[in-house]
Amino acid sequence: MKKIIFLIVAGMMTFLSTVSAQALKDVVYLKNGSVIRGTIVEQVPNESLKITTKDGSIFICQMGDVERITKEAPVKKNLKEEVKVKYRGFVDLGYTIGVGAVSNSDRVELTTTHGVQIFPELFVGAGAGINFYHSSDGAIALPFFVDVRADILRSNVTPFVDLKVGYSFGNVCGLYVTPSVGCKVNHLDFSLGYVSQRYHGLNVGGLSLKFGVNF
């Protein structure tokens, strides 16, 4: 029994030490003061090493330039470091196919949104737009809205979700709500959403396909 308990404890200690070791990252300190954190994927004794960082970058260092190599726990950013408020803007052009209670409600939409990126994933702002309806009287709506957008990944290519809520003025006036999902590729956006436009108690709704730029 003691032997079994000893083997179990030894196994648990080995497992915990392995997990702990996997949580540590290689840290290369260079003689010029630079510090590279990542995973060493190749090392030639007394010649060079290759290390990959979290963002996928690859560095090749000559051993003569290396001061020391250690293993350290990943550096955790605090909330203040995560919150970096900066300006961000969007311009979107799209076409909406009417699917609501009002017939002939297809329209071309042009919107622009401006605000702040609070976290790398979270944007909050406000915007305005103009909608050109295909109705016989050439109706125009001018929506003004607040906008909340969340990028799913911290990458140049990422899916996102977006919600605009506001009020439209003009020939078609009433509550304006637009939830959408899409994909950001560098500074280009592609999205598919639903437009809910209230007018005299009716929903002038539609499915919207948009193309835009972000800056």
Mean pLDDT, the chain, as a whole number? 86
Does 59 share its domain with 90? no
Report residue 80's pLDDT band, with 50, 70 and 90 as the boundaries: low
Does 67 share its domain with 94? no
Per the structure, the count of domains in the chain is 2
**Measured distance CA(208)–CA(176) in Å, rounded:** 13
Contact call for residues 43 and 88 (beta carbons, < 8 A):
no
pTM above 0.75, yes or no: no
Q: How crowded is residue 203: how many other Cβ atoms within 10 Å of its Cβ? A: 18
Does 34 share its domain with 89? no
For the CA atoms of 11, 12, 17, 21, the dihedral, rounded to the nearest 10 degrees, stands at 100
Which residues form the domain of 32?
2-72
Task: Give me the pLDDT at residue 40, please.
Answer: 92
Instruction: List pLDDT tens digits, range 25-43.
Output: 899 999 998 999 999 999 9
Q: How crowded is residue 196: how many other Cβ atoms within 10 Å of its Cβ? A: 17
Does 102 share its domain with 33? no
Task: Give me the pLDDT at residue 85, please.
Answer: 84
Does 29 share its domain with 112? no
Task: Give me the pLDDT at residue 24, please.
Answer: 79
Task: Give me the pLDDT at residue 154, please.
Answer: 81
- Which of 72, 107, 122 terminates a domain? The answer is 72
Does 107 share its domain with 165? yes
**Closest alpha carbon to 49 in 69, 21, 75:** 69
Task: Give me the pLDDT at residue 135, please.
Answer: 77
Angle, CA 204 vertex, CA 202 and CA 205 arms, to 5°: 120
Task: Give me the pLDDT at residue 20, please.
Answer: 46
Instruction: List pLDDT tens digits, range 90-119.
Output: 999 999 999 877 778 899 999 999 999 998
Task: Give me the pLDDT at residue 19, please.
Answer: 43
- Which of 44, 72, 100 terminates a domain? The answer is 72
pLDDT: which is higher, 37 or 1? 37
- Which of 72, 106, 133 terminates a domain? The answer is 72
CATH code where residue 172 lies? 2.40.160.20
CATH code where residue 17 lies? 2.30.30.100
